[in-house]
Each structure stands twice: as C-alpha cells, then as structure tokens.
Structure 1
C-alpha cells in the first residue's frame, strides 16, 4: 500500500513543481499597483512641483499629514509630519542651494555638522543640506529634541515611485479628485498650524 502511494506522489511531482513555480512568480511581483512614471509626473505637475523635488522622511511617532503636501516657491515641495501631541516636522525642498553666506547672514545660530547645517533660534531649529542643487530642510519647534530632528533629517531622501504614489495628491484631471481646494482638516488645532514660509529656522 505504501509503495502504491509513493508511486502516485512521484507521478504528481512533475505537475506540482510548475504550479508552485507559477505561484512563486506571482507573489514576487514588486510594485504591481504603483502608477507608471508618466502618471506620477502628471500628479506632480498638478501639484505644481516635480517628482525630483518630492522628498520624504520618517520619525517614530510622526505621520505624514497628507493634506499638508503642496508646493513652496515656484516648483518646490513641502510636507508636514505630525505627532499625536500635535508637534510638527516640516520638510521643504527648494531650488535655491543653501550657502555659507546664508548661514552667516541669518538671524539664527548656524553651524556646520557633517554635510548639513544646523540652525537654531528661540522659536525653532532645523537641519539644512544641499542635494543636487536643491535645498532640503527639515524644521521643528524647540520642543522636539535635537537628536530626534537629526535622525529624521538623516532619513530624509528623494521619494521613489512607491513613495511618490503615497505622497502626491491625486490628479484631478484623471478623475482622482474634485479639483477643489481641500480643507486642511488633518492638521492639529494646536501646535504650529499650517506650514509657513517664514525666514529662519522656523520655516
């Protein structure tokens, strides 16, 4: 009886192996649901920015406030990450490199730390670095410790396609939205409120 069962199993193996191989191939498709690059670029243009200007970061206890995502300057990018306490990390990217002259002439304390500048004032602090002609800045209120800000600044990077899809607003022209301005209901009532473009470490 055992030999007969073994014979049946051996006979089924040639059929099982291709089936398992196909199943394995199906589970290894990466980014199958990610829009193509053309759609992502269209969504960036609809937000008045460029895909290469979209950066993201991560920090424990902070989540991206998606309705904060928008343009800064001509075609820059800005987004706010909010904690449960209402504290905010503001990420901004602009096409105007930060220079030593900017560091020296600003009203804040400004020192070089590795490849970044650290700026601080009584109202806030930030890390700024240049990346391919872009000024990449992460700003926080003084209530957020410097080491937390630095860790988030070190994790700041240009978004890949999956991250672009998660961050960029839907393109109204493609039917993904109404085209009307969206109320910023996900920003907390306390804290710094909406992102500002003030001069200095606070923005």
Structure 2
C-alpha cells in the first residue's frame, strides 16, 4: 500500500468519527419512541465542552423530544424539540433563522424549522450566544435507522399448566 493510500485511509477513519460523539444509541432512540416521541423529532447537537446525558432523554409535550447536555464541571444545557409555532417569552431578538431569548436569568436560542423548532436553554452567560446559535442551527436527526427494535420475547416460566385456570403449579410440601 502506498503512503498516499495509507494517508487517505487514515484520514477517512479519523474523519468518520467526527461529530459522532453525540449520536444516540438505538436503545435510547427506542426508549424515546416508547415514551411517545415522534421519531422525526429526535435530534442531537454538537455543543463544545458538553456531552449528551443519555439518561436524560425523554418526551416533551405531546410528541416532542428533550435531552440534557452536561459539562465536566456540572453545567447543563437543555435541548427541546417540538412541533408548532415557536412562542417567545422575555426579550427576544431575531437572529438568523431563529430567535435568541433572555428571560428570568436564562438564555435560549431557538432554531426554527418548517414544522418544528429546536431550542437550547441554559443559565444566561453560561454558553456564548454564537456557540449556542451554531449548535441549535446545526442540530441534526439522531443516528438510527428509524425502525424500532422488536420488543423482547416473553420469558418461558415453565410453571404454568397447559390447561385449566392458568394458575402456577405449586406443589404442596410438608404441612401444606
């Protein structure tokens, strides 16, 4: 293998991992859909210094999606994705394709899409406004094939009779 081919292969391997740190596992996607989240609203963002806390993933409102990104020092940024028109509370400024808001000590950037919006929310000043905007506007659907995993098979108990009332077989012992 030539040096040029080796370098191209190495670049492909390194670049294939870029941006994949915040992808959701299929198990977490399945969990969210079982909670009523619409699969097309399950998103991830790239937020420098923060990682997705998979245990935080869940439903918001009727079919929306929510998750929390955490920093090593314990700071958190909440992400919410939902349908409908975006309504702003507090001081709102149009910024690109979305809205920047400050209200009650919190800041938020909402990237507005044709049929839904992606919001990133945190305490005011915790994340630079431009970084928050870039992350929200760069939100992308979570990795997954969109097909939920099949439910687990029932457990074979072995103590249920094949006929009768279906009560477990409980042989009597001494004294009973």
TM-score, structure 2 normalization: 0.62
Separation in structure 2 between the aligned mates of residue 64 and residue 40 of structure 1, nearest angstrom: 12
Distance 1:158 1:76, change over 3 A: same
Contact residue 87 and residue 141 of structure 1 kept, 8 A: no
Distance 1:125 1:149, change over 3 A: same
Distance 1:59 1:123, change over 3 A: same
Q: Any gaps of 5 or more consecutive residues in structure 2?
A: 1-15, 17-25, 154-176
Note if 1:157 corresponds to 2:145: no
**Cα RMSD (Å) of the superposition?**
3.2
Note if 1:96 corresponds to 2:78: no
Note if 1:138 corresponds to 2:138: no
Query: Which structure has the highest strand share of the two?
Result: 2
Q: Provide Cα deviations, 1:164-189, integer angstroms capped at 9, x if missing partner.
A: 79xxxx969337xxxxxxxxxxxxxx
Contact residue 98 and residue 109 of structure 2 kept, 8 A: yes
The number of residue pairs the alignment matches comes to 129
Separation in structure 2 between the aligned mates of residue 68 and residue 160 of structure 1, nearest angstrom: 17
Separation in structure 2 between the aligned mates of residue 122 and residue 152 of structure 1, nearest angstrom: 22
SS at match of 1:64: strand
TM-score, structure 1 normalization: 0.54
From 100, 106, 122, the equivalent of 1:118 is: 100
Query: Which structure has the highest helix share of the two?
Result: 1
Ranked by relative contact order (alpha carbons within 8 Å, sequence separation 6 or more), the top structure is 1
Separation in structure 1 between the aligned mates of residue 133 and residue 74 of structure 2, nearest angstrom: 19
Separation in structure 1 between the aligned mates of residue 127 and residue 31 of structure 2, nearest angstrom: 32
SS at match of 1:150: helix
Separation in structure 2 between the aligned mates of residue 41 and residue 124 of structure 1, nearest angstrom: 28
Separation in structure 2 between the aligned mates of residue 146 and residue 130 of structure 1, nearest angstrom: 16
SS at match of 2:63: coil
Q: Which residue is equivalent to 1:54?
A: 42
Separation in structure 1 between the aligned mates of residue 81 and residue 129 of structure 2, nearest angstrom: 20
Runs (4+) of structure 1 moved beyond 6 Å? Answer: none
> How much has 1:126 moved relative to structure 2?
0.8
